[in-house]
Chain A
C-alpha cells in the first residue's frame, strides 16, 4: 500500500519504524503539551492570560536550552541508555501533578516539560540522519511529520472525547511518550563514534547559513503572524473559519509533509522550500488585501500546508550537510535557534499586548516571506545532481518497462 513511498529505500523496515516512532512520539508529545498543559496545571480555572503566555514562552525556551544540553550529553554517552532514561523521565515528569496543581506551579512544570522534550530531541534527529541515505531522507522525514500529526490528532480527539480531566490528559501523555520505547525494542539505536565538528565550523558553513537565513525569516514571519490574529475581530464567523480550517489544516499538513518528502527526494530540497515560502507569502498577501473570514480560512489552510513542507525539508537539510557525529549540532542550530526567534517575537508581542494593524502587517509578512526565497536561491542543492538524475532515470525505466509490457500483452 505504501509502495509508492518506500520503493527503492535502502533502510530496513525495522530501522525505518524505529526512526519514525522515536521522533514522532516525542514531537507529538511536544505539541499536545504545548496545547494542553495549561488545562492540566490549572484545570477549570481560566488562567490569567499574562501567566498563560509566560508559561508558553518559558516552555519553549526551556525546550531549546535543554535540547542544546541534551545534544552535548548525547555526544559523550551511550546513546541507547541516554534515550531510555530520557523517555522514562518523560513518563514520570508529569506525575507530581496529581499532588501539586495550580497557577503557582505553572512555570515549574513549563520548565520540566521543556526538559522532558528537549533533552532527546537532537539525538533522535541525529539517529534519523545517520540511518537514512540522502535519496530516501525526504520521504522518511515526511512520514515522521505525518505520523507525529496523526498522533496529535488522535490524542486531541481522545482528550476532548474523554473530557479535560487531568487523569485523562495525563494518560494520553504517558501513552504517546511510551511509543518511543518501541523504537528501542526494534533497533539497537547505536551511533557512529565520530567526534562532532566544532561549533565554529558549523556556523561558518556558507550553504548551511543560506538555508538557516531563510528559516529565520520564515520564523520571523510566523512569529509576527501569531500576533496578527490577535488583531482580528472577535466574531463567530472568524471563530468558525478557525475551527473548520484547523481540522483540514492538520490533515493537509500531513499530506503536504509526505508530498514535500517525495519531492525533496526527487527534484531536490530547494524547490519544495521555495514552494512552501511562496504558499505562505501568498496566504498573507491575500489577508492583507482583503481581511474577511474567507481569506482568513484560506490563509490558515495555506500556512498549514506550508508548515508541512518547511518542517520536512528542514529535517532533511541538516542531515544532508552534517558530517557523521555532528548531526546533533546541526539540528540544534538549524532547528532550534530559529525557533528562538519565533518565541521571542511571539512571546514579547503577546506579553506586551501589542495589536498590529492587519493590512500593513500582512504586507510586511508577504515581503519577508518572498525575501526569504533569496538565500535559498543562493544555497547549494544538498541532494546531489547525480542522485536526482538517477531517480529520474529509474522512474523513466519503469515507465518504458510498462509500455513494453503492454505491447506484449495482445499476442
Chain B
C-alpha cells in the first residue's frame, strides 16, 4: 500500500478559492517537512503557472498524451520558498491553443486512455519521490477533466461559498457525480471559504446562523464541514496574491490555513 494520498479540490462555481487554498495548503504542508506534489488539473483554465510565475518546457498535457514522463515536467520550488520539506509543481499550459486542443479534439477513448496514463504516472510519482501528498487543483463544474481528476483522488475537498446558488449547485453535483464516485471509494468533505465576518472586524452577522447552515449542509450532502475560512479583502484584491501563508504567517488567513491543514492531516492520516 502506498502511503502518499491524493487530494483533489473542486467546486461547483468558479472563484470559490480552490487554487488559493490548495497552493497555501501545499506550501504549509511542505513547510512542515512533508513531501508534496501539486498538479494543475484545471486544464481548461490553468492558473498555477501564473501563480508561481514559472514556464516549464513541457506540461501535464504532454504526460496525458504519453509524450513525456511525469518526472520531466516537475519543478521543485522548495528551496525558492525556503521550505523544510519538498514542494513539486506540475503545471498546465495556459496558452489558448493548448487549452482549445484539450477541449475540442479528444473523444471518449482518449479521455479514458489519458486517465489510465495519469493513474500509472501518479503511482510512480508517489513511489519515486516518496510523496506524502499529491494535491490536484481542478476547474469548476462538471467537465471531463474535473470528473477524471476527482475519480483519481482518494479524498475530495469541496470548496464552496455560502451563496444559495453555490449550495444548490453543489447539492446537485453531489447527487450526479460525487455520490457515484463514492461507490468507488472516494471520500469527500466540505470547506466553506470566503465566509463573511472577518471584515469589517467584529461583524458577527454570520456566526449567528453559522451553526444551522453548517448542520444543514452536512445533512444534505451527508458529509462534514472541516473548515471555514473568512473572506479577507486584502487577499481578494491583491495584485499578485502569492502564498499568503508563507509570506505573511501572522495573517489571520495564514492561521486559518494552518488550522485547516491540521484538520486535513487528521482525516488523511488518522493514526499518526
- Give the number of residues in A that approach B within 8 Å (Cβ atoms): 16
Cα separation A392 to B177 with both chains bound (whole Å): 11
Given contacts A393-B142, A393-B147, contact A399 B112 (CB under 8 A): yes
Are B181's CB and A390's CB within 8 A?
no
Are A411's CB and B1's CB within 8 A?
yes
Cα separation A397 to B147 with both chains bound (whole Å): 6
- Give the dominant DSSP class at B's interface: helix
Cα separation A400 to B112 with both chains bound (whole Å): 7
Are A403's CB and B115's CB within 8 A?
yes
Which residues on the A side are within 8 Å of B180 (C-beta)? 394, 397-398, 401
Which residues on the A side are within 8 Å of B1 (C-beta)? 411
A389-411 contacts to B, CB under 8 A, are 390, 393-394, 396-405, 407-408, 411
A337-395 contacts to B, CB under 8 A, are 390, 393-394
Are B181's CB and A397's CB within 8 A?
yes
Are A393's CB and B177's CB within 8 A?
yes
Are B176's CB and A400's CB within 8 A?
no
Are B184's CB and A404's CB within 8 A?
yes
Cα separation A407 to B2 with both chains bound (whole Å): 13
Cβ of A323 to closest chain B Cβ, rounded Å: 23
Are A393's CB and B108's CB within 8 A?
no
Q: Is B119 interfacial (CB 8 A cutoff)? A: yes
Given contacts A401-B183, A411-B1, contact A393 B176 (CB under 8 A): yes
B196-233 contacts to A, CB under 8 A, are none
- Give the number of residues in B that approach A within 8 Å (Cβ atoms): 21
Contact partner of A408 (CB less than 8 A), chosen from B108, B116, B177, B185, is B185
Cα separation A405 to B183 with both chains bound (whole Å): 10
Cβ of A401 to closest chain B Cβ, rounded Å: 4
Q: Is B152 interfacial (CB 8 A cutoff)? A: yes
Which residues on the A side are within 8 Å of B185 (C-beta)? 404-405, 408
Cβ of A22 to closest chain B Cβ, rounded Å: 29
Cβ of A103 to closest chain B Cβ, rounded Å: 61
Contact partner of B151 (CB less than 8 A), chosen from A390, A397, A411, is A397
Which residues on the B side are within 8 Å of A398 (C-beta)? 180
B1-32 contacts to A, CB under 8 A, are 1
Are B119's CB and A400's CB within 8 A?
no
Cβ of B172 to closest chain A Cβ, rounded Å: 9
Which residues on the B side are within 8 Å of A405 (C-beta)? 184-185
Q: Which B residues have a C-beta under 8 Å from some C-beta of A?
A: 1, 108, 111-112, 115-116, 119, 142-144, 147-148, 151-152, 176-177, 180-181, 183-185
Q: Which A residues have a C-beta under 8 Å from some C-beta of B?
A: 390, 393-394, 396-405, 407-408, 411
Minimum-distance CB pairs A-B, first 10: A401-B184, A400-B151, A405-B184, A393-B142, A404-B151, A397-B180, A407-B119, A397-B147, A397-B177, A394-B176
Excluding A397-B177, A401-B151, 14 further A-B contacts by CB distance (< 8 Å) are A393-B142, A394-B176, A394-B177, A397-B147, A397-B151, A399-B112, A401-B181, A402-B184, A403-B115, A403-B116, A404-B119, A404-B184, A407-B119, A411-B1
